[in-house]
Structure 1
Amino acid sequence: MIFAIDSKSFYASVEARSLGYDPLHVALIVISTGPNVGGGGLILATSPLAKKSYGLKSNVSRLRDMPKNADKLIMTSPHMNLYIYINTKINNIYRRYVDEKNLHIYSIDESFLDMTSTWKLFGNSKKQIAKQIQKEVLDETGIYTTIGIGENLTQAKIAMDVYAKNNDSRLGEINYASIKERLWPIKNLNSVWSIGNKTAKKLQKIGINSLDDLAHYDPYKLEKKFGVIGGQLYLLSWGIDRAVISQKAYPKEKSYGNSQVLPRNYTKADEIEVVLREISDQVAARIRKHHFQTGLVHVWVGNEYTNGGFSKQNKITPTNESKILNQIVVDIFHANWKGDKIRNISVYFGNLIPDNSQQFDLFRTSEQQIEERKLDRITDSLRLKFGFSKLVKASSILPGGTAIERAGLVGGHNGGNSYE
């Protein structure tokens, strides 16, 4: 028995509570401002009432999209450290019901709980326990939660997204016995976990407009058209998911990356190169932290307001050395950039393998390579201890550099005060 639990409109709800409002009965938005967001600011989060009354969407709408009759709308800045603090409190409540191995923190506002072995300790029915968890979270943090209940991760997640988020009890349930009634009628395919807009459009082109259609499509034709994903989609339509939280058998992150919205249009190659090196340096540190090497480097530069830019990836000899990865990223940029105005930059490292070997090359001695790896590790440890901005490359103080300014942000937004 799996619970999928979502903190409803999490950022906006935390801000509402901090101001003394009930999150469900106040029109409030969280606006991230700064030189890197256009349109006067990005609407990072909206309360349910703000979404319903003004049609504003999180991470899509800008301040310029505000309707003229929004004089009663409350606007606040983000406080990322507060969100992390409340998220920790909420997950500590979940730990009263499951041990650590049966808790999967999916994101800052969603968690999965495998209650199979423990639910009978807390009540007589699944929904009774779900309501009990909702009450404890609300009483102790002021945050409303929605809970999907299923016999596996997929069922619980879809029950939460499709049903729990759209009824007053904020509860939803799917099990194998109710697949025909609860799963197959779903027609909005991109509302289903793991089916994105592109996949939904491809399915519609072959006559699949609901999970019922998908469940009764020839699975061999699906695999022929979509590859392995076709088989996974077919299983999903029957509510089948063999992943087990305690075995960590659910999909893991296959790549690490970082992206930035620049404070202005960048037109000079040397300024763009500075930012690319900064981002590459940060992502390289992340894969080292998780004991990986990367065999695939992906670079995207573009502009959300104009056409242009490129998206390119190169396979490489696996490594996690910053010096090598930084140069590869810059080489990809110079080989593909056509002089367009750049506002958005992303760097991702994929094809990850365990960091338990080293491929020596012909252009450096083994001693030089070992010293480079040591230098990376020392740099990582110093930044971890004293903060990223205490040890940056000199290029970060050149025009175009963003690393020092962003070091004080959390998730690209204002962190606010620290919370114990």
Structure 2
Amino acid sequence: MGLVDFSHFPRRSVLCIDVKSFFASVEAVRRGLDPLEAYIVVVSDLRRSGAVVLASSPRVKMEYNIKTGSRFFEIPKRSPIMVVEPNMALYININQAIQNIFRRFVTDEDLHVYSIDESILDVTASLNLFGPAEAIAKAILQTVKDELGLIVTAGIGDNPLLAKLALDNEAKKRPPWVAKWTYEMVPQTVWKIQPLTAFWGISRGYDKKLKQMGIYTIEALAHANPMWLQKTLGIMGLQLYYHAWGLDASIISQRERPKSRSYSKNQILMRDYYVKAEILIIIKEMVGDVCARLRKHQEKCQEVYLGIGYSDRKLQLGFTARIKLGRPEHSTDIISEAARQEFIKRWHGEPVRSVNITAGKIVPQGHEQLELFFDGEEKKYATDRVVDALRERFGKRAIFYAGSMAGGTFLERADYVGGHKGKSE
């Protein structure tokens, strides 16, 4: 392996930890069942046969090939499978409990939450306290099992990439649920990953492009000319080349903070919407949710994006409109009126099936230019404050638009968390 000098890259002790079949395992544990032996599937909505499977237990995956992304109607009717709706609030609480266990072994600076069920821990600074990375991983696995009843798996690597690859391609698949990949093991591990799409970062699009270039394996990718890869695939080509060698220069504690933030809400509707008044009330409801988050964080936005998706894609995919505001705002009425005008200008009766509202160019609410309120605007801000206070104290259903009872989705989704039901039986 003389083509790459690993001494120029960080060599740390990194864990990538995943909760096995997280949602389904939580549902098994709360019913007193072994998460590895239970037959449980979590489905987004039991009322719809086309609802998406959010998680399935290991037994269901192995015996019925039902996994995340499958559909409700694919689940055999005559089977021992228990089908339940999600409890997103519970999952978030369990995730917090798991993160707190991680914090017994690393500082916040060395902990990166990758998703609700996966985290990356740099334990380099903890080795003198808790022993080698393998011992720390086993201690975390045992602690989570003892305290929460869940099975977690851990990939160990010299960097975050190798830890992630070890997790996905070995640790997740069989006991003892721990695997370690180092730089020296790249030819026996990284280069053996098949197919190309099983490699982290290679999508079906890049898989197709690589094969058109005559690259069918990770080993071939590692021995391709990096300049040719960059010329053909851009900067991603060079990144894939380094990744094929297991190289990743990132250090968790030195990660860059995002230069800009945004607040977004997206909704795929339960049916096609053709009535303008119904679509507008949904837009206003969603703007209200985004603006409430802005006010909660004492921030305002300088621009808003309205995204509309159509169900009949033969007509058109939809549109995304960028709305520049005259000054920073977090008023529901002012921003929803701007979105209303933009929608009316662009919509011509197409069947609407998805709506997205994104607030961008965020600034602290006290940093905008001071000016006198236009007529009636102080009343709008006061109304927003009262609505926020009522919902904070009595729940989101305490006050809502009258139109939400006829065509809107606010009442149905008031208890949703992360786009799914916050609680279920």
Q: Normalised by the size of structure 1, how large is the TM-score?
A: 0.83
CA contact (8 A) 1:50 1:73 kept: yes
Report deviation, 1:373. Answer: 6.7
Task: Return closer, same or farther for 1:333/1:224 CA change in 2, 3 Å cut-off.
Answer: farther
Match of 2:45 among 33, 51, 56: 33
Greater Cα radius of gyration, structure 1 or 2: 2
Provide the C-alpha distance between the structure 1 equivalents of 2:38 and 2:407, rounded to a whole number of angstroms: 40
Supply the distance in 1 between the matched residues of 2:290 and 2:233 (Cα, whole angstroms).
Answer: 31
Who is 1:411 aligned against? 418
Q: Are 2:82 and 1:82 equivalent residues in the alignment?
A: no
Indicate the residue corresponding to 2:5 in structure 1: none
Q: Which stretch has the larger CA shift, 249-258 or 407-416?
A: 249-258
The alpha carbon displacement at 1:379 in A equals: 5.2
1:13 aligns with 2:22: no
Residues 188-207 of structure 1 aligned to structure 2 (within 5 Å): 188-207=195-214
Aligned to 1:211: 218
My pick for the range that moved more, 25-34 or 145-154, is 25-34
Deviations along 1:242-293, one digit per CA (max 9) or x if unpaired, are 3332234377886542222323321112211211222233234445556573
* Secondary structure of the structure 2 residue equivalent to 1:179: helix
Which residue does 1:342 correspond to in 2?
352
Within 1, Cα distance between the matches of 2:384 and 2:195?
47
- Measured after TM superposition, the shift of residue 3 of structure 1 is 1.0
2:67 matched residue in structure 1: 57
Q: State the match for 1:46 in structure 2.
A: 56
Counterpart residue number, 1:367: 373
RMSD: 3.4
Q: 1:280 to 1:193 in 2, by over 3 A?
A: farther
Question: 2:340 aligns to what?
Answer: 330
2:191 corresponds to: 184
- TM-score when scaled to structure 2? 0.82
Identity %: 36
The 2-side partners of 1:217 and 1:415 are apart by: 48
Size of the aligned set, in residue pairs, is: 408
Are the aligned partners of 1:256 and 1:348 in contact in 2 as well (CA < 8 Å)? yes
Q: Is this contact kept in 2: 1:299–1:333, CA < 8 A?
A: no
CA–CA distance in 2 between the matches of 1:4 and 1:76? Answer: 29
Cα displacement (A) at 1:106: 2.3
Structure 1 match to 2:117: 109
Q: Is the Cα contact below 8 Å between 2:46 and 2:84 reproduced in 1?
A: no
2:10 maps to what in 1? none
Higher mean C-alpha displacement, 248-257 vs 237-246: 248-257
1:179-213 CA distance string (max 9 Å, x none): 33322332333333343333433333333333333
Moved more, 179-188 or 104-113: 179-188
Give the distance between the partners of 1:119 and 1:254, measured in 2 at CA.
Answer: 35
Which one-letter code corresponds to 2:374 in the other structure?
A: Q
Q: Which runs of 5+ in 1 are unaligned?
A: none
Structure 2 vs 1, CA of residues 115 and 40 (structure 1 numbering), >3 Å: closer, same or farther? same
**What stretches of structure 2 of length at least 5 have no aligned partner?**
1-12
Aligned to 2:268: 261
